[in-house]
Structure 1
Amino acid sequence: MIKIKNIYYMLAYAYQSLNEASFKNIQSEEFENLHDLMAAILIRGVSNQLKRGLHKDYLVYTEATGNLKGKIDITSSIRQNTLMTRRMVCHYDQFSENTPLNQIVKTTMELLIKSGDVRVANRKGLQKLTLYFRNIETLNPFAINWNALIYHRNNATYKLLINICQLVIKGLLMTTETGEYKMNEFLDDQLMHRLYEKFLLGYYKKEYPHYSVSASYIDWNVDDDITDFLPTMKTDITLTHGAKTLIIDAKYYGRTMQTHSLFNSKSIISANLYQIFTYVKNKDRNGSGNVSGALLYAKTDEDITPDNDYSIGGNRFSVKTLDLGADWREIVVQLRAVVALL
């Protein structure tokens, strides 16, 4: 079981803006559940945004009105027979704070307010903040088009807020048989997998600045320059120091081993090992042996925990586990041991 405080540290490395001074006091707090942690982060984040001002944008409105403005829609006016009431259908722009970003933030705050797992102090904190959103509509949380959100210079400060909102809505929210909303205890595996990857990449970037750290692409080591229809190879984390490179593939699954029913035996998941093998061999196109690969699993409650090293075809391959249920200092030791594989 992952400790709630460790999830905060993971978020802090995945989203570097959580390292701002205004969030520092969260590190000293104790949280009994994930909902309360998310509420505390939103309270700080929304408070910071209010100091900067809520984002506003020009929104398009359509209404039948006697006060003509904007663009008059003759066709719609005739179809709706608005002339009988001395009105016309008009399309007009209005500079408003009722933007999708603010709607998502308000929707998330109200969902957390209704969650019984958020402590009273944090629920009151969220309720006070919603007063600043009184002119902003809420959304159906399951109908939000996250891919349609666009960030630019004027709203870039919303990135952290929206990422937290997405974790709450996509990772924690579910509906009951009666259609009411309910919060899960922990994020689903798919979102935790993404957070796990972002955390590892962010951690090594911040803590190992003298290394080259990236989620880099690998070219296929083809003989005739023909790469049509070959899949893209993008690593989760690539560490480079001097002439040596370590490719890390982050894995957050409910299990780390596959079972063979015929012989009742266990082995490393084949597809994962084939994937890291392909990455390393194509990266080490000269066969120097300076490229290594590591599968880094998040620890599960399985009886067997992989901790193996192999030398295959002149390259080193490791299969390790990271215990996210340990104290943070122990996690740091484990992460340092992974770098030692380089």
Structure 2
Amino acid sequence: MIRIKNVYYMLAYAFQTLNEAEFRSIQAEEFKNLHDLMAAILIRGIGNQIKRGLHRDYIGQTEATSNLRGKIDVTNSIKQNTLLARRMVCHYDQFSENTPLNQILKTTMLLLVRYGDVKEDNRKGLRKLTLFFQSVETLHPHSINWSAIIYHRNNATYKMLINICQLVIKGLLLTTETGKYKMKEYLDDQQMHRLYEKFILGYFKKEYPHFSANASYIEWNVDDGMTDFLPAMKTDITLIDGSKTLIIDAKYYGRTLQTNPLFNSKSIISGNLYQIFTYVKNKDRDGSGNVSGVLLYAKTDEEITPDNDYIIGGNRFSVKTLDLGADWNSIVKQLSEVAALM
């Protein structure tokens, strides 16, 4: 089972903002659970954002008022009989802190306060921060349109905070049969998979700066130039060092092997191997053999742990596991062995 402190390190590499000075004190703390870790990160991050100033934007408002402003809605004024009270329905924009970004922050803080297993100091810290959000509304957590959030120069400092909120709401929050909320002890596999990919990429970017590390696209090695309807190939992590390329496909599953019940045998999950094979072969357009591929699984509680290397058609393919339940120094050693496959 993954250690709580290791989750922090994963977050720190996935979101480089956590390596800034104001967050470093978290490294020295011990957390009994993930709720407490998320609370500590938000307390520091939102506190820093308040010092910078909460994001504001023009929010559309509609009201019947005697102080005419914005666009007057004559049709609705007649329908609502506002003229009798010497009022008109007006549509106008108000510069406000009640933006979706601040609404997400407030909603997440209150969820952790009410339903999280958070120590009292952090619970008080979250409550104190919510006082700065009195003019901000809360949201129904499962109605948040995460894909609609757009970052720009004026709100870029919110990106890490919103990612943490997304992990809390999408990865930890459960709705009970009675409609109430409760929080899981660990992130669900889907959110851990996303974090795992970001962590691996962020780790190699920071710790191996001599590599070019990116989540890059691979073009199909077609003979006639026809690529219509071919799916895009985007790698989780591509490392380039001179003429050599290593493509890493990060996998966070409940199992790393598939079972053939007919022969009672286990093998690497077919789709995963076909995927990395396709990436490598299309990347190695001239057949140089300088492109390799790795399936990097997060270790599960299965008895058999894949640790294999294959040479197929002149390219090396490796299947490795990363034990996130080990101490951090061991994880660093395991990742250095992956880098050595370059």
Structure-1-length-normalised TM-score: 0.99
**Is residue 2:245 matched to residue 1:260?**
no
Tell me what 2:27 maps to: 27
Tell me what 2:124 maps to: 124
Shift of 1:145: 1.0
Q: Percent identity?
A: 78
Deviation sequence 1:224-248 (CA, Å, 0-9, x none) = 1111111111111111112111110
Deviation sequence 1:53-109 (CA, Å, 0-9, x none) = 111111110011122221110011112121122211011111111111111100000
Shift of 1:215: 0.8
Q: Does the 8 Å contact 2:272/2:295 carry over to 1?
A: yes
Tell me what 2:136 maps to: 136
Shift of 1:116: 4.7
Shift of 1:115: 2.6
After TM superposition, list the pairs within 5 Å mapping 1:232-271 onto structure 2: 232-271=232-271
Tell me what 1:88 maps to: 88
Tell me what 2:159 maps to: 159
CA distance in 1, matches of 2:152, 2:280: 37
CA distance in 1, matches of 2:216, 2:176: 41
CA distance in 2, matches of 1:115, 1:25: 25
CA distance in 1, matches of 2:177, 2:220: 49
SS in 1 for 2:115: coil
CA distance in 2, matches of 1:248, 1:159: 25
CA distance in 2, matches of 1:116, 1:149: 25
Tell me what 1:4 maps to: 4
Deviation sequence 1:194-239 (CA, Å, 0-9, x none) = 1000000000000000111111111111111111111111111111
**Is residue 2:180 matched to residue 1:214?**
no
Q: Does the 8 Å contact 2:39/2:126 carry over to 1?
A: yes
Tell me what 1:296 maps to: 296
Amino acid at match of 1:330: S
SS in 2 for 1:114: helix
Q: Which runs of 4+ in 1 moved over 4 A?
A: none
Tell me what 2:308 maps to: 308
SS in 2 for 1:98: coil
Tell me what 1:37 maps to: 37
CA distance in 1, matches of 2:214, 2:93: 43
Please list every run of 5 or more consecutive structure 1 residues that lacks an aligned counterpart in the other structure. none
SS in 1 for 2:255: coil
CA distance in 1, matches of 2:208, 2:242: 13
**Is residue 2:145 matched to residue 1:145?**
yes
Tell me what 1:178 maps to: 178
Higher deviation after alignment, 302-311 or 108-117: 108-117
CA distance in 2, matches of 1:148, 1:270: 34
Amino acid at match of 1:269: I
CA distance in 2, matches of 1:148, 1:223: 39
CA distance in 1, matches of 2:130, 2:107: 10
CA distance in 2, matches of 1:116, 1:273: 39
SS in 2 for 1:91: strand
**Is residue 2:283 matched to residue 1:283?**
yes
SS in 2 for 1:72: strand
Tell me what 1:71 maps to: 71
Tell me what 2:48 maps to: 48
Deviation sequence 1:231-275 (CA, Å, 0-9, x none) = 111111111112111110000000000000101110000000001
Shift of 1:4: 0.5
Amino acid at match of 2:191: L
CA distance in 2, matches of 1:6, 1:309: 27
CA-atom RMSD in angstroms: 0.8
Amino acid at match of 2:178: T
Tell me what 1:105 maps to: 105
CA distance in 1, matches of 2:92, 2:239: 52
Number of residue pairs aligned between Structure 1 and Structure 2:
342
SS in 1 for 2:62: strand
